[in-house]
C-alpha cells in the first residue's frame, strides 16, 4: 500500500468531496483489493469520522458502498456512515425501517459485502423486472416493493408461477434480477425445445442487472426451459460445448434486437478496435430499429437508450445521425415535447449517466432540436447536464426562455453563478436575486439528481460572502424587500436565519439598520407558533384595485418583457460594438435603462402577485365608505370635496380618484355617513356616500 498516496487522497476528499476526488479514492481502493487491509481500513476511519455528520450526495454514498463491497473493516462508526449512504442511494419511498432491516445495514451479523450486494439487488429490482429466486426455484415478475411491510409483490411470468407477496429479505439474499425482454421466454418456457445451454448463459449474462454465478444459472434452467429433463439428460445438456461460430457469423451492433443487446455489441466492437463510421446499410438498420421501437420500451429503458444514443454519436456523421434518430424524438423520455412541463423524474437520466455520455447526448440533442428547445432543457436539467449544454446556447436565448416559461431551478441559478463572468451571459445574472434563490430553495422536493444543486445553492446563501454581496446589490438597497423575503424563507431554521442576518448586515448598513428596527425579530419568529397575536408575523395583505388598473399593470409588465427588454438588449449590443466603455455614454445609458427595467419588472411581479381585482359593478353601497363608492367630505372650515374612493392603483388627483392606500383614503375607508375624523390637523366629516357613476364603473371594469 502506498500510504502517502492514500493520505493525500483522503485529505483531498475531506477538504473537497467532489466527484473527481471521490473517484480517485474509489479507484485506489479497488486496486488495493478485497478485503481491504487493516492499514487501509484504519486510514479510512478518519474519513468516516469526518462524514459521520455530513450530508451525503450520490458520489459520497457510492464510495461507502464500494468500501463495503471491498470488505472494509467493520465498525460502529462505518455502520453509521453506511446507513446515511444507503438512504442516499435509495429512492425516498424506500427509506423505511423494514427495508433497512432487509438490507442488514444495521445488523453486525450481516457482512458488509452482503449489505452492498443486497443494496445493488434492491436498486435493480425495478417494477416489471424479471426475477429468479434460487432458494425456492421460482420465476416471476417483480411488481412493487411494500416499504412498510418489507415485502415484494411477485407475479407470474410467461405463464409460470402465480402472484404472491414474498419477504424482501428473502428476495435480497439470493435473487437474480433480469431486464425484461422477449428473449427471456426462451429461458422459462418448458413446453418448447430448450435453447442451447451456451445461449442460455449468454442471455442471462446480457440481461442480468448483477453478475450471476454458474450454479444460479443451473438452478434457473432446471426451474425453466429444462424443467422436464431427467437428471442425466440435463447434465448432458448443461455441459454441452457451444458450437464454434461459422465464419462471418459474428453478430454486429446494427443487427441487435434490443437496446441492451445493441449496447453490448457496440461495447464489444469498441473493445475490438472497431471505431469507424457506420456504412449506409448499418445506418438504415439503426433507423429501422428506432422506428419499430415501442414508446413503452424507450421509456422503460431510458438510461440504456441514452447511452446507446451517445455511443452512436461518435460513429455517425451529424446529418446521418439526425436522420437515424428522427423516429426517436417522440419516444425518448429524455426528449420530452415540452421540457418545462415534463415530470422531472423523466429527465433524471441526464444526471445518472456517465459524464462522457452526457456530453455526447447533449451534442446529439443540439443536432436534432433547435436552440430554443435546448434553452428549455437547461431550465429543467440537473447541473451535470447544464455544463454540457453551456456552450451551445447563448445567454440571450436562455434569458428569453426564462421570461417566456417563468421556470427557474436551483441548478440553473447555480450554473449562472458559476459562469457569471462569461461575457455572453448578459441579463442572466439579473436572475440571481434573493427572491429567486429563496423561491427555488423553498419549493417542493425534487428527485435525487437535482438535490446536490439545492444543497450547494443553500450553502452559497448561508456561507459565501461574494454571493451574499451579489444578491444584496441586486436588491438595489431595498432593505424592506430583502427582509420580507427572508421572513418567508421557512426552509431555513431560526438559527440559520439569525446567522444569515448577521452576515448580511456586515455587507449593508441600510439592511442592518432596518433589521435592528424590529424586522430582525419578525424574521426570527417567522414559522414559529405563538399564542400572542401581536407577536405573530403578519401575513401579506392583498392590494385591492380595479380590473382596469390590474390590466394596465399586467400590460406594462408584458411590454417590459416582450418589447423594452429586447430593445434594450439590442441597444447594449450596439453600444458594445462602439468599443471603449470608459467614455461610452450610449453604453452607460443602456446599462442604466437595463437596471431600471429589471427593478420595475421585479416590482410589477411583486405587485401583481398580491393584487385582488374588484368588480366595481358588484359593489353594494349603503351608508359606509367602501372601495367603489363616491364620497362627499365637509371640513370644519366649510370646505367641501367629492372623491371616488377606489383601489390601491386607481388614484388620479386630476379626476378626483382617491386611492384607499393614501392617508386621506385610509382615513375615509369604512367610515359611516355623519362620522367625523381628523386628516392631519383638519377636522373632517363624511357627509354622503353613493354608488359610482355608471360610466366610471364601466371604465374601471373594462
Among 395-399, 490-494, 503-507, 562-566, top mean pLDDT goes to 562-566
Of 181-190, 406-415, 484-493, minimum mean pLDDT range: 484-493
Rounded Cα distance between 176 and 697, Å, is 74
Alpha carbon 544 to chain centroid distance?
A: 36
pLDDT at 532: 40
Residue-wise pLDDT tens digits, 82-131: 999 988 888 877 878 888 899 998 888 889 989 998 888 888 886 668 88
Beta-ladder partners of 644: 630, 657
Question: For residue 244, what pLDDT is reported?
Answer: 46
- The secondary element (H helix, E strand) that includes residue 484 is helix 479-487
Q: 425 or 288, which is more confident? A: 288
Nearest-angstrom CA–CA distance, 697 and 701: 6
Q: What is the CATH number of domain 616-701?
A: 3.10.50.30
DSSP secondary structure string for all residues of 282-340: HHHHHHHHHHH--HHHHHHTHHHHHHHHHHHHTSS-HHHHHHHHGGGTTT-TTS-SSGG
Give yes or no for residue 536 having a pLDDT over 50: no
- What is the pLDDT at residue 673? 92
DSSP 524-581: HHTT---S-TTTSPPPPPPEEEEHHHHHHHHHHHHHIIIIIHHHHHHHHHHHHTT--S
From 381-395, 459-473, 576-590, the region with the lowest mean pLDDT: 576-590
pLDDT band of residue 672 (cuts 50, 70, 90) is: very high
Considering only residues 500 and 479, tell me which one the structure prediction assigns the higher pLDDT: 500
pLDDT by residue (tens digit) across 215-230? 888 898 888 888 888 8
Summarised one tens digit per residue, pLDDT across range 614-634 is 899 988 898 999 999 999 999
In this structure, whether the domain defined by 543-614 belongs to CATH 1.10.287.180 is answered with: yes
- What is the pairing mode between strands 164-167 and 676-679? unpaired
pLDDT grade for 546, boundaries at 50, 70 and 90: very high
Question: Comparing C-alpha atoms, which of 450, 454, 514 is closest to residue 478?
Answer: 514
Cα of first residue to Cα of last residue in the chain, in angstroms, is 81
Per-residue pLDDT at 580 exceeds 70: no
For CATH 3.10.50.30, the residue range(s) in the chain are 616-701
- Phi and psi at 137, nearest 5°, equal 60, 40
pTM of the predicted structure, to 2 decimals: 0.48
Orientation angle between helical segments 434-441 and 479-487, nearest 10 degrees: 0
3-state secondary structure of 636: coil
Yes or no: say if 377 and 339 are a contact pair by the CB < 8 Å rule: yes
Contact 119, 136 (CB under 8 A): no
What is the per-residue pLDDT for 671?
92
Q: How confident is the model at residue 442 (pLDDT cuts 50, 70, 90)?
A: confident
Instruction: Return the C-alpha torsion angle 303, 305, 307, 309, nearest 10.
Output: -150
Does residue 528 surpass a pLDDT of 70?
Answer: no
440 band by pLDDT with thresholds 50, 70 and 90: confident
> What would the pLDDT profile of 326-374 be if each residue is shown by its tens digit?
888 878 888 988 888 888 888 888 888 888 888 888 888 888 888 888 8
pLDDT surpasses 80 at 510: no
Report the C-alpha gap between 92 and 87 in whole angstroms.
8
Q: Does residue 130 or residue 183 have the better pLDDT?
A: 130
In this prediction, residue 538 carries a pLDDT of 43
For 256-302, how does the pLDDT look when each residue is reduced to its tens digit (9 = 90+)? 888 888 888 888 888 888 888 888 888 888 888 888 888 877 887 88
In the numeric block, which cell numbers belong to residue 329? Answer: 424524438
pLDDT digits (tens, 9 = 90+) for 230-248: 888 888 888 875 454 444 4
List where CATH 1.10.287.180 sits in the chain: 543-614
Amino acid at each position: 500500500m502506498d500510504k502517502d498516496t492514500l493520505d493525500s487522497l483522503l485529505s483531498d476528499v475531506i477538504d473537497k468531496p467532489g466527484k473527481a476526488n471521490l473517484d480517485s479514492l474509489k479507484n485506489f481502493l479497488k486496486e488495493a483489493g478485497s478485503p481491504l487491509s487493516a492499514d487501509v481500513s484504519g486510514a479510512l476511519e478518519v474519513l468516516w469520522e469526518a462524514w459521520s455528520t455530513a450530508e451525503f450526495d450520490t458520489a459520497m454514498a457510492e464510495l461507502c458502498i464500494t468500501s463495503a463491497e471491498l470488505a472494509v473493516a467493520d465498525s460502529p462508526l462505518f455502520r453509521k456512515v453506511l446507513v446515511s449512504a444507503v438512504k442516499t442511494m435509495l429512492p425516498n419511498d424506500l427509506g423505511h425501517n423494514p427495508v433497512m432491516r432487509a438490507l442488514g445495514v444495521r445488523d453486525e451479523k450481516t457482512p458488509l459485502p452482503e449489505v452492498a450486494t443486497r443494496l445493488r439487488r434492491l436498486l435493480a429490482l425495478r417494477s416489471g423486472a424479471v426475477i429468479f429466486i434460487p432458494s425456492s426455484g421460482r420465476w416471476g415478475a417483480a411488481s412493487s416493493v411494500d416499504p412498510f411491510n418489507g415485502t415484494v409483490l411477485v407475479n407470474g411470468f410467461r405463464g409460470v408461477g402465480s402472484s404472491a407477496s414474498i419477504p424482501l429479505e428473502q428476495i435480497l439474499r439470493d435473487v437474480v434480477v433480469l431486464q425484461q425482454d422477449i428473449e427471456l421466454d426462451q429461458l422459462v418456457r418448458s413446453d418448447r425445445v430448450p435453447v442451447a445451454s451456451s445461449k442460455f448463459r449468454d442471455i442471462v449474462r446480457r440481461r442480468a442487472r448483477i453478475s450471476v454465478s454458474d450454479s444460479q444459472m443451473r438452478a434457473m434452467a432446471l426451474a425453466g426451459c429444462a424443467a422436464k429433463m431427467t437428471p442425466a439428460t440435463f447434465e448432458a445438456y448443461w455441459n454441452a460445448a457451444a458450437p464454434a461460430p461459422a465464419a462471418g457469423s459474428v453478430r454486429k451492433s446494427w443487427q441487435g434486437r434490443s437496446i441492451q443487446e445493441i449496447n453490448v455489441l457496440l461495447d464489444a466492437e469498441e473493445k475490438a478496435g472497431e471505431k469507424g463510421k457506420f456504412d449506409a446499410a448499418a445506418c438504415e438498420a439503426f433507423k429501422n430499429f428506432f422506428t419499430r421501437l415501442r414508446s413503452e420500451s424507450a421509456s422503460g429503458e431510458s438510461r440504456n437508450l441514452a447511452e446507446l444514443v451517445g455511443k452512436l454519436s461518435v460513429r455517425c456523421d451529424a446529418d446521418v445521425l439526425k436522420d437515424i434518430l428522427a423516429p426517436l424524438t417522440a419516444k425518448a423520455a429524455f426528449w420530452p415535447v415540452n421540457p418545462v412541463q415534463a415530470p422531472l423524474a423523466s429527465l433524471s437520466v441526464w444526471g445518472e449517466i456517465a459524464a462522457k455520455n452526457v456530453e455526447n447526448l447533449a451534442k446529439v440533442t443540439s443536432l436534432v432540436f433547435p436552440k430554443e428547445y435546448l434553452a428549455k432543457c437547461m431550465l429543467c436539467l440537473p447541473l451535470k447536464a447544464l455544463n454540457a449544454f453551456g456552450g451551445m446556447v447563448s445567454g440571450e436565448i436562455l434569458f428569453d426562455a426564462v421570461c417566456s416559461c417563468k421556470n427557474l431551478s436551483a441548478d440553473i441559478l447555480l450554473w449562472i453563478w458559476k459562469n457569471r463572468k462569461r461575457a455572453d451571459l448578459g441579463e442572466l445574472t439579473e436572475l440571481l436575486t434573493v427572491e429567486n434563490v429563496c423561491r427555488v430553495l423553498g419549493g417542493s422536493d425534487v428527485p435525487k439528481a437535482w438535490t446536490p444543486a439545492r444543497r450547494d445553492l443553500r450553502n452559497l446563501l448561508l456561507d459565501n460572502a461574494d454571493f451574499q454581496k451579489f444578491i444584496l446589490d441586486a436588491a438595489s438597497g431595498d432593505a424592506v424587500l430583502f427582509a420580507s423575503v427572508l421572513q418567508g424563507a421557512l426552509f431555513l431554521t431560526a438559527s440559520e436565519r439569525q446567522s444569515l442576518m448577521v452576515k448580511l448586515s456586515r455587507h449593508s448598513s441600510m439592511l442592518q439598520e432596518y433589521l435592528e428596527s424590529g424586522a430582525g425579530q419578525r424574521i426570527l419568529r417567522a414559522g414559529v407558533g405563538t399564542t400572542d397575536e401581536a407577536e405573530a408575523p403578519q401575513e401579506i395583505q392583498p392590494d385591492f384595485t380595479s380590473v382596469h388598473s390590474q390590466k394596465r399593470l399586467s400590460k406594462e409588465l408584458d411590454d417590459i418583457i416582450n418589447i423594452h427588454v429586447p430593445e434594450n438588449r439590442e441597444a447594449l449590443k450596439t453600444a458594445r460594438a462602439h468599443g471603449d466603455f470608459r467614455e461610452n455614454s450610449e453604453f452607460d445609458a443602456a446599462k442604466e435603462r437595463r437596471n431600471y427595467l429589471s427593478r420595475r419588472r421585479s416590482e410589477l411581479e411583486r405587485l401583481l402577485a398580491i393584487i385582488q381585482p374588484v368588480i366595481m359593478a358588484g359593489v353594494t353601497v349603503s351608508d359606509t365608505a367602501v372601495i367603489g363608492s363616491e364620497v362627499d367630505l365637509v371640513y370644519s372650515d366649510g370646505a367641501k370635496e367629492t372623491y371616488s374612493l377606489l383601489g390601491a392603483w386607481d388614484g388620479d388627483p386630476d379626476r378626483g380618484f382617491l386611492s384607499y392606500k393614501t392617508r386621506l383614503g385610509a382615513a375615509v375607508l369604512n367610515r359611516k355617513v355623519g362620522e367625523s375624523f381628523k386628516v392631519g390637523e383638519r377636522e373632517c366629516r363624511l357627509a354622503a356616500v353613493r354608488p359610482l357613476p355608471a360610466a366610471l364603473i364601466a371604465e374601471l371594469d373594462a
